[in-house]
């Protein structure tokens, strides 16, 4: 398509979105609440120490495969009483004090597309197209081998989206969002009103990785098109203010530039992986970067590397594929195709290896690192144990924390 016609098409699509009335799917929230007990299973965990870095590792399951939430979703309840993941019984929770596993389901059916709340001890999830807020209360057993812990949950039906997709919550828990092609919708958690924020122009392709800013409750981002961009396609990272409904690209790519796997961080910044290396095949080199979407300025936090004649397997050890940061701005995590996880200091960018060997190059899930609320633990996917992939939690050693002290007051990250 001619560039002028492309721009006109996008403008027309976006303007029509802003002028569009609220979605017909908008509904008032249900006034029905119910409380019920959840099934609690015996522990299935395994603890070990990383042989290279000496970080403490806990595999939440061992006898059955499990998978973590996507790295930009919240996995921990606010008080740390439960870590959310997907296991053999669907949505599940892990109780850190005992290792017990909780089956998170409702009397009316299973739930999915979950994400933990940011400011209160609850989680949002879908039951078919209904959006629920579940608030668990955990009573830890003194002897879980004979008497299981008790977990009850209060269920609140908020409203219903016009389709199903992964949920993501705003930093103040006022809204949840969902990218239901070709649109992005938000739901007011208090009123249940559903609104179409933006209709995605056909030229953008599908909208994926819809997520809220971790600091601004009015900003959403989404990924347009595929991970690998060529000349003539749109920029991957798109940001939209829900008050305006007009997506914009804060980072403009050039031909054969890789931009992928973004997530919001502190100070309204966006972390992502990618690089522009004219001599290298696309995706062979990938830095971990931080972007200020207000100015478009991007800087390298963790440098990738490329050299002529390099073997892809060797390159995969020194380049990064997912980027996520702790909520206090002290750390940024990057993973590679061998399942190694590197931590970078948020202030200085100094690298520290956290754990290694959680993926076999060429096969298996990527770690896709998520963070707890305190910046002391990460959750990720591991292929280290036999029997498939398992969710693993690594604790940042005190020695590393001491090397990266609390940032000065008023300063977070870069």
Domain positions in the chain are: 37-403
**pLDDT value of position 283:** 74
* Domain range 37-403, its CATH number among 3.40.50.300, 3.90.550.10, 3.40.710.10, 2.130.10.10: 2.130.10.10
CA–CA gap between residue 271 and residue 40 (Å, rounded): 37
pLDDT tens, 263-275? 999 999 999 999 9
Q: Count CB-CB contacts under 10 A for residue 376.
A: 17
Quick check: helix, strand or coil at residue 297? strand
**pLDDT value of position 212:** 98
**pLDDT value of position 22:** 44
What parts of the chain have a pLDDT lower than 50?
A: 1-30, 229, 231, 409-410
**Residue 398, token pair as written in the block:** 């005190």
With 0-12 CB in 10 A as exposed, 13-18 as middle and 19+ as buried, what is 378?
Answer: buried
**pLDDT value of position 412:** 63
**pLDDT value of position 93:** 98
**pLDDT value of position 414:** 67
**Residue 285, token pair as written in the block:** 């080199």
- 168-169 and 150-160: which strand pairing? unpaired
**pLDDT value of position 408:** 52
**pLDDT value of position 259:** 93
Distances (CA, A) of 363 to 337, 339, 383, 384: 9, 10, 9, 12
pLDDT tens, 44-94? 999 999 999 999 999 999 999 999 999 999 999 999 999 999 999 999 999
């Amino acid at each position: 398509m001619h560039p002028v016609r492309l721009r006109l098409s996008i403008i027309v699509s976006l303007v029509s979105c802003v002028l569009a009335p609220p979605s017909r799917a908008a509904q008032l929230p249900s006034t029905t609440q119910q409380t019920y007990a959840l099934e609690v299973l015996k522990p299935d965990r395994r603890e070990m120490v990383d042989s290279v870095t000496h970080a403490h590792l806990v595999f939440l399951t061992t006898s059955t495969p499990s998978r973590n939430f996507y790295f930009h979703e919240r996995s921990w309840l606010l008080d740390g009483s439960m870590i959310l993941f997907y296991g053999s019984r669907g949505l599940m929770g892990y109780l850190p004090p005992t290792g017990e596993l909780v089956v998170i389901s409702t009397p009316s059916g299973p739930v999915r597309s979950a994400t933990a709340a940011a400011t209160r001890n609850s989680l949002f999830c879908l039951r078919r197209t209904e959006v629920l807020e579940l608030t668990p209360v955990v009573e830890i057993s003194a002897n879980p081998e004979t008497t299981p812990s008790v977990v009850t949950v209060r269920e609140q039906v908020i409203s219903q989206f016009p389709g199903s997709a992964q949920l993501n919550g705003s930093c103040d828990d006022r809204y949840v969002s969902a990218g239901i092609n070709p649109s992005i919708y938000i739901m007011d958690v208090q009123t249940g009103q559903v609104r179409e924020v933006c209709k995605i122009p056909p030229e953008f392709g599908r909208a994926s990785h819809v997520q809220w800013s971790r600091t601004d409750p009015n900003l959403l981002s989404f990924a347009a098109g595929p991970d690998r961009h060529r000349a003539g396609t749109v920029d991957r990272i798109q940001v939209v203010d829900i008050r305006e409904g007009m997506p914009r690209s804060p980072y403009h790519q050039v031909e054969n530039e890789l931009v992928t796997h973004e997530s919001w961080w502190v100070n309204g910044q966006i972390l992502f992986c990618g690089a522009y290396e004219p001599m290298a095949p696309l995706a062979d080199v990938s830095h971990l970067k931080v972007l200020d979407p207000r100015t478009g300025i991007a800087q390298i936090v963790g440098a990738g590397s490329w050299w002529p004649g390099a073997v892809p397997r060797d390159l995969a050890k020194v380049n990064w594929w997912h980027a996520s940061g702790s909520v206090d701005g002290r750390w940024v995590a990057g993973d590679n195709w061998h399942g190694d996880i590197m931590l970078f200091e948020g202030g200085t960018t100094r690298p520290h290896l956290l754990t290694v060997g959680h993926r076999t190059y060429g096969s298996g899930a990527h770690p896709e690192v998520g963070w707890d609320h305190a910046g002391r633990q990460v959750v990720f996917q591991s292929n280290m144990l036999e029997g498939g992939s398992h969710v693993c939690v690594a604790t940042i050693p005190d020695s590393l924390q001491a090397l990266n002290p609390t940032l000065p007051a008023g300063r977070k990250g870069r």
